[in-house]
């Protein structure tokens, strides 16, 4: 495929009016120095400050700047979705608007995609300048869990500075809060050449962070949801059916064991407890009921999945 531009730089932002002129000037300096054909796609996620007015002014001075403005705040995933949809460059780079991501990293990341053949190059903020207690430690725990679940060996899954082959962003759908897991979405779509590059992290110069500690809790829950959907999304019966049958058989076996044990003790003239007075019997019945319900849930999910309009959507690499 022939691309009209070398680079598409997608910047999602919310209330970053102070940093935008400096950021765009820095990016332009790097682009001109390297001789890239580029575009800057700035997605204003419902800012309440003067961010959009500044974007309009910057676009009037540089025709390479494109702007998208949301009527309200939808979140970073929505901003990236529209940015990816509009991107026309051979390589798509995402970065934050708070000046903590350095545009000086872009040329090497571009080279790694174009020359080394990587699908994704993810930034790794090896030396961070965030608060160690509220940002660094939760981030390390979060990234450790993400590596274990996704199987992708990235130290900083949530780093905003990433470079993608254009084909990658056109074949994934970023929604909800899934911007944290774009490498995992790409892996599930068949783009497995994923690596990382240590990048320079800078202290926030203007404003305050728009994300709190709750993002780590929400991020972990999103990761579990994404793992479940990618693993069992098109075969729900494999999870619900197997779990249901296992619980049903286990509960049935325990119930039979309690009954048989009572009959043996009774037949030998030994003291015995009535079946209905044994807690294990009721736990066994509960397991049987839950197992049956899980099996029915899997059956219903399977029917829904087989009638889904996306049941036969697959990413094709090429045809000859």
pLDDT at 75 over 70: yes
- What mean pLDDT comes out for the span 181-187? 89
Q: What is the pLDDT of residue 56?
A: 95
**Per-residue pLDDT at 311 exceeds 60:** no
Long-range contact set of residues 149-154: C-beta below 8 Å, sequence gap at least 24: 149/223, 149/224, 149/227, 150/181, 150/183, 150/184, 150/187, 150/223, 150/227, 151/187, 152/183, 152/184, 152/187, 152/194, 154/122, 154/124, 154/183, 154/194, 154/196
- Alpha-carbon distance of 116 to 41, in angstroms, equals 25
**What does the block give as tokens for 38?**
């580029």
How much of the chain is helix, strand and coil, in % rounded to 5?
50, 15, 35
Q: What is the model's pLDDT at position 267?
A: 82
Segment 248-252 mean pLDDT: 93
96's tokens: 């934050």
- Residues with Cβ within 8 Å of 253's Cβ and at least 6 positions away in sequence, in order, are 284
pTM summary value: 0.72
Range of lowest pLDDT (51-55, 132-136, 227-231): 132-136
Tokens of residue 186, six digits = 């790409």
> Using one digit for the tens of pLDDT, what is the confidence trace for 207-232?
666 555 566 566 667 777 767 766 67
- Top-confidence residue, 144 or 56: 56
Please give the share of the chain, as a percent, with pLDDT higher than 90. 50
Task: Sheet containing 162-165: give its strands across.
Answer: 65-69, 38-44, 5-13, 89-96, 162-165, 120-124, 194-198
Mean pLDDT for all residues in the chain: 86
- Tokens encoding 81: 């979705």
Instruction: Enter the tokens of residue 146.
Output: 């993400």
Residue owning tokens 């700035």: 42
Higher pLDDT, 121 or 204: 121
The H or E element spanning position 57 is helix 51-61
pLDDT-derived band at 135 (thresholds 50, 70, 90) equals low
Coil vs helix vs strand at 169: helix
CA distance 319 to 168: 17
Q: Would residue 269 be called left, alpha or beta, if left means φ above 0 and alpha means ψ between -120 and 50 degrees?
A: left
User: Per residue in 228-247, pLDDT tens?
Assistant: 766 676 677 888 888 899 99
Does the pLDDT value for residue 47 go beyond 80? yes
Instruction: Write out the E strands in 17-96.
Output: 38-44, 65-69, 89-96
Q: Give the model's pLDDT for residue 175.
A: 81
Task: Report the C-alpha gap between 153 and 143 in whole angstroms.
Answer: 9
Task: For residue 162, give the H/E element and its range.
Answer: strand 162-165
**Where are the strands (E) in 38-157, listed by range?**
38-44, 65-69, 89-96, 120-124
pLDDT digits (tens, 9 = 90+) for 274-285: 888 888 989 999
* 9-13, 33-37, 122-126, 141-145: least confidently modelled range: 141-145
Query: At residue 150, does pLDDT exceed 70?
Result: yes
What's the CA gap between 140 and 263, in Å, rounded?
Answer: 57
């Amino acid at each position: 495929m022939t691309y009209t531009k070398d680079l598409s730089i997608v910047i999602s932002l919310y209330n970053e009016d102070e940093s935008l002129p400096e950021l765009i000037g820095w990016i332009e300096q790097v682009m001109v120095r390297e001789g890239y054909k580029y575009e800057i796609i700035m997605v204003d996620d419902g800012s309440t400050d003067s961010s959009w007015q500044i974007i309009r002014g910057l676009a009037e001075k540089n025709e390479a700047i494109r702007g998208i403005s949301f009527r309200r705040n939808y979140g970073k995933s929505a901003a990236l979705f529209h940015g990816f949809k509009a991107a026309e460059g051979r390589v798509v780079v995402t970065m934050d608007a708070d000046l903590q991501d350095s545009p000086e990293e872009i040329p090497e990341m571009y080279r790694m995609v174009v020359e080394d053949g990587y699908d994704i190059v993810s930034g790794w903020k090896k030396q961070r300048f965030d608060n160690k207690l509220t940002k660094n430690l939760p981030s390390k725990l979060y990234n450790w869990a993400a590596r274990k679940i996704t199987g992708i060996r990235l130290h900083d899954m949530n780093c905003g500075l990433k470079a993608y082959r254009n084909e990658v962003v056109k074949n994934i759908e970023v929604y909800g809060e899934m911007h944290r897991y774009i490498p995992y979405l790409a892996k599930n779509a068949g783009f497995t050449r994923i690596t990382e590059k240590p990048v320079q992290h800078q202290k926030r110069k203007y404003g305050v962070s728009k994300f709190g500690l709750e993002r780590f809790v929400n991020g972990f829950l999103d990761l579990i949801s994404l793992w479940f959907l990618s693993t069992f999304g098109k075969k729900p019966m494999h999870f619900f059916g197997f779990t249901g049958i296992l619980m049903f058989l286990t509960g049935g076996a325990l119930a039979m064991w309690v009954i048989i044990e009572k009959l043996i003790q009774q037949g030998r003239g030994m003291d015995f407890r009535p079946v209905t007075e044994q807690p294990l019997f009721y736990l066994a019945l509960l397991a049987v009921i839950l197992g049956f319900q899980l099996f029915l849930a899997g059956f219903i999910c399977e029917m829904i999945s087989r009638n889904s309009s996306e049941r036969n959507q697959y990413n094709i690499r090429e045809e000859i």
